[in-house]
Structure 1
Amino acid sequence: MTYLATSAAHWPGTVLVLIAGLALGLLLAGPLLRRTFPVAWWLLLGFPVACVQVARTWRPLMAGCGLAVSRKAALVVVSGLVGKGAPPPQPRVPRRGVMHPTAGGFWFLVRLLPGQVPEAFAKAAPAMAENWQVHAVRVTSHRPGIVRVVASTADPLREPRISRQRGSGRLLRVVVGALETGAQWVIDLRQVPHWLIVGATRSGKSTLINALVAGLAPQPVALVGIDCKGGMELSLYGPRLSALATDRRQAVKLLAALVELTLDRMAVCRKAHVRNIWGLPDADQPVPVVVIVDEIAELFLIANRGEKDEAQAAGTALIRLAQLGAALGVFLIVAGQRVGSDLGPGVTALRAQLGGRVCHRVADPGTAEMALGDLNPDAIKAAQAIAPEQAGTAVLASGDGWERARSHLVSEAQAEATAVEYAHLTPFLPELADVLGGPSAGLTVRLERLDRDSRTSNDDHDHDS
């Protein structure tokens, strides 16, 4: 009994010593752990410290940013002024939810007080980042009356950590980079079928296209290119392209053939009483076609009457493909240095059909507004803030909101090597065979079977941490 009593008496002290030893070990090994295993360091040491810091500063931070409300409507509390010796009443502050860790930060929800709006919290984001000593804080509307606060301890876009994609992956889904939350940047054409990518020279636009082609090349899809700059950009992927148009006249013919292809597929779906090609039996499913248009302005710029007719025909065909293609297995990736309404009414109509938007650093504010303004006006300022040295960094916008991302560096040599490696997967599309003078050498393989899992999988886009 005496031994048990002695053990019980020493037990709290032993636990405290163990805790102190563990804390000291983490502090000493912290720098090495942070460099070698940054995620483990953050979860073991960084996140608990951040929780304490946020809890300690939340009330004074809300008061300093004007987000605290007096408990009595007519009562004004002045710092340091105490009436009749009583302590000053504590103002009400927005209620903060539980903090959740991410790979490089944390997030939590905040319930707004009556009369408050999300914009007031968004203006306070720099003050939050300064008080919590983190790289950046973003505030977005979660649902009416609640905002979502996301903090990043370091800039995850400085050195995007994404693993090399092995194999074909899920059909029409490509990991192209990293989001500012630390999550993977995924372009899934089954979820968002058509994309607009804009960016000035050396902004990272071509690198993003390289990453897309490198991810799609191992998959059973047909890649079709339209490059009216003589094929200088997309000819790199020539062995993996089922067709390539290098001037506007060829582009008009190729786009017309693609429209006919969609109409043929529409007739097949109507006969089978299904709403899209994914409802067809495996043996009847046609190969998905991804159309990559580089430098969209070259299709719309005109110098004479004849070019005007060609530009109008190209614009009309692109709009029809955007309207009909998603259900019929035709997807658009439209890229350009400059996109504006001055190129013609067809550009604005086409832009409305491209649900996914990627804006790199641009040379004029009109292009950023054209790319992002109709979906999320708040994203325009973020796009205009991208510095020239931040090549590859972009702002993404969709109907769900906007976020910053950076594409994985895929060089032209790597993209070209990938196209050669998977040239044997290039499908032969008879609908396009005679448009540009017959199929090229090597384009003789026709794929009959698609990835079955892709027809039934409806996984969410990986934008959340």
Structure 2
Amino acid sequence: MVAAALGVGLLVAGPTLRRHYPVAWWLCVGFPAAAWRVARTWRPLMAACGLAQSRKAALTVVSGLVGNGAPPPQPRVPGRGRMHPTSGGFWFLVRTLPGQVPEDFVKAAPAMAHDWEMHAVRVTTWRPGVVRIAATFADPLHRPRVPRQRGAGRLLHVAVGVLESGAQWVIDLREVPHWLIVGATRSGKSTLVNALVAGLAPQRVALVGIDCKGGMELALYTRRLSALATDRAQAVTLLGALVGLTQDRMTVCRKARVRNIWSLAEQERPVPVVVIVDELAELFLIANRTEKEESQAAATALVRLAQLGAALGVFLVVAGQRVGSDLGPGVTALRSQLGGRVCHRVADSGTAEMALGDLNPDALHAAQSIAPGAPGTAVLASADGWERARSHLVTETDAEAVAAEFAHLTPLLPELADHAP
């Protein structure tokens, strides 16, 4: 009687509970129902998707039916592990059958999502012979619920949004030191840069800006910037100074007999420097010989910073609307050094291919499928895999206010004193 009353109560209050307390609704109502659907459909679903294998050869089965009327044996299906609920879905491990590869399960993911009535299903490799299947019951990118980072937090660690899995989207420059961010106008690229700067501003780091559009984008953060270049000539000089800064830090590390600044004593460790380059194409477009020389100098300096910077506390965040191989070999060489990639909606396929094509073809396809009505939505990829994400909405006003609030933390770097904004 009590169980029946509880069931009726959940059915009546279900819509309200789901709207106001989605996690509680999922754990109390949604997950048990999903677990039942998975258990009920697993065997026929595997068979329909071509992932089941007969226990006997076809001729043996037919001869058995003809000879004695025995029913055919049940086909073998991949072994499914225990389901683990999450705040927005569930996951479980599957042991593949001989001859099966993860791509076979990736192709079956849409059918799984349909049969289990889930928003999306993702398949990833767990270890050889085992895949991980993760499902989400709703799109967490529709209304991100992860709060913005408050306070300084961990050094060079910024929560900028939410992942498709419902977890925080974190950019950790200690883990992935250099990033390429691409996106068309109104795609959310600038919002992501705003979120990153707003998260770094309370930290004891130096922010350096290179904005060859006259400083229109990065001027918002002027009070928090240790240096700013607003045209290509200034950018070349500033990048040269940054290369000189890394060489000075090399000398410090060599004298201390350590391989990076993080091994130095805290009181001797130089301040980390995050270099934000907005609209990369402006550095590489050339119209005459002088601009060609400046472009080559900028490309060389950026590649050197990317190669040496992580160990010496210099990090690159490179953004642009269009980043293609047609900008020259310098862009391709730089791209290979930028391990973190974020691709918003782009206006041309070449930019998406430059950002993601060398990492994961599935990520490239997902990025090209981003709808115009989903600003802030992006595909992020690294050598470890890819995922859809959405950045927090940090407006220009918000970013400017944060930069002003923490202006007192702006370090003065003697090597960059000539480029102070």
TM-score relative to the length of structure 2: 0.97
Contact 2:148–2:160 (CA under 8 A) maintained in structure 1: no
1:274 maps to which of 258, 261, 266: 258
Question: Against the structure 1 CA distance between its residues 138 and 76, is the aligned structure 2 distance closer, same or farther, given a 3 Å change threshold?
Answer: farther
Structure 2 residue 83 is the aligned partner of structure 1 residue 74: no
Instruction: Give how far 1:256 is off.
Output: 0.3
Q: Paired residue for 2:158? A: 174
Q: Paired residue for 2:235? A: 251
Structure 2 residue 296 is the aligned partner of structure 1 residue 312: yes
Taking the TM superposition and a 5 Å limit, the aligned residue runs for 1:109-124 are 109-124=93-108
Range moving further from structure 2, 141-150 or 252-261: 141-150
The residue type paired with residue 314 of structure 2 is: V
DSSP-derived class of the 2:386 partner: strand
Gapped regions of structure 1 (runs ≥ 5): 1-16, 441-465
Instruction: Give how far 1:29 is off.
Output: 2.4
Taking the TM superposition and a 5 Å limit, the aligned residue runs for 1:78-89 are 85-89=69-73
Question: Against the structure 1 CA distance between its residues 238 and 75, is the aligned structure 2 distance closer, same or farther, given a 3 Å change threshold?
Answer: farther
Instruction: Give how far 1:22 is off.
Output: 2.8
Instruction: Give how far 1:135 is off.
Output: 0.7
Q: Paired residue for 1:384? A: 368
Structure 2 residue 176 is the aligned partner of structure 1 residue 192: yes
Contact 1:223–1:292 (CA under 8 A) maintained in structure 2: yes
Shift >6 Å, 4+ stretches: none
2:18 maps to which of 20, 31, 34: 34
Structure 2 residue 148 is the aligned partner of structure 1 residue 164: yes
**Deviations along 1:107-143, whole A, 9 cap, x unmatched?**
1111111111111111111111110011111112222
Instruction: Give how far 1:85 is off.
Output: 4.5
Distance in 2 between the 1:82 and 1:330 partners? Answer: 75
Q: Paired residue for 1:183? A: 167
Contact 1:70–1:77 (CA under 8 A) maintained in structure 2: no
DSSP-derived class of the 1:86 partner: coil
DSSP-derived class of the 2:100 partner: coil
The residue type paired with residue 396 of structure 2 is: E
The residue type paired with residue 123 of structure 2 is: V
Contact 1:178–1:184 (CA under 8 A) maintained in structure 2: yes
**Deviations along 1:259-294, whole A, 9 cap, x unmatched?**
000000110011011111111112111111000000
DSSP-derived class of the 2:47 partner: helix
Contact 2:148–2:161 (CA under 8 A) maintained in structure 1: no
Contact 1:70–1:76 (CA under 8 A) maintained in structure 2: no
Instruction: Give how far 1:44 is off.
Output: 1.4
Q: Paired residue for 2:75? A: 91
DSSP-derived class of the 2:29 partner: helix
Taking the TM superposition and a 5 Å limit, the aligned residue runs for 1:416-435 are 416-434=400-418
Range moving further from structure 2, 68-77 or 421-430: 68-77
**Deviations along 1:20-48, whole A, 9 cap, x unmatched?**
33333322322222122111111111111
Greater Cα radius of gyration, structure 1 or 2 = 1
TM-score relative to the length of structure 1: 0.88
Distance in 1 between the 2:74 and 2:66 partners? Answer: 12
Superposition RMSD on alpha carbons, in Å? 1.5
Taking the TM superposition and a 5 Å limit, the aligned residue runs for 1:362-441 are 362-434=346-418, 436=419, 439-440=420-421
Distance in 2 between the 1:36 and 1:54 partners? Answer: 26
2:85 maps to which of 101, 104, 109: 101
Structure 2 residue 254 is the aligned partner of structure 1 residue 288: no
DSSP-derived class of the 2:336 partner: helix
Q: Paired residue for 1:227? A: 211
Instruction: Give how far 1:418 is off.
Output: 0.8
Range moving further from structure 2, 310-319 or 336-345: 336-345
Question: Against the structure 1 CA distance between its residues 342 and 224, is the aligned structure 2 distance closer, same or farther, given a 3 Å change threshold?
Answer: same
Range moving further from structure 2, 158-167 or 201-210: 158-167
Structure 2 residue 136 is the aligned partner of structure 1 residue 132: no
Contact 2:324–2:351 (CA under 8 A) maintained in structure 1: yes
Distance in 1 between the 2:126 and 2:312 partners? Answer: 34
Gapped regions of structure 2 (runs ≥ 5): none
DSSP-derived class of the 2:416 partner: helix
Taking the TM superposition and a 5 Å limit, the aligned residue runs for 1:337-376 are 337-376=321-360
DSSP-derived class of the 2:245 partner: helix
Q: Paired residue for 1:144? A: 128
Give aligned pairs, total.
419
Instruction: Give how far 1:166 is off.
Output: 1.4
DSSP-derived class of the 1:124 partner: helix
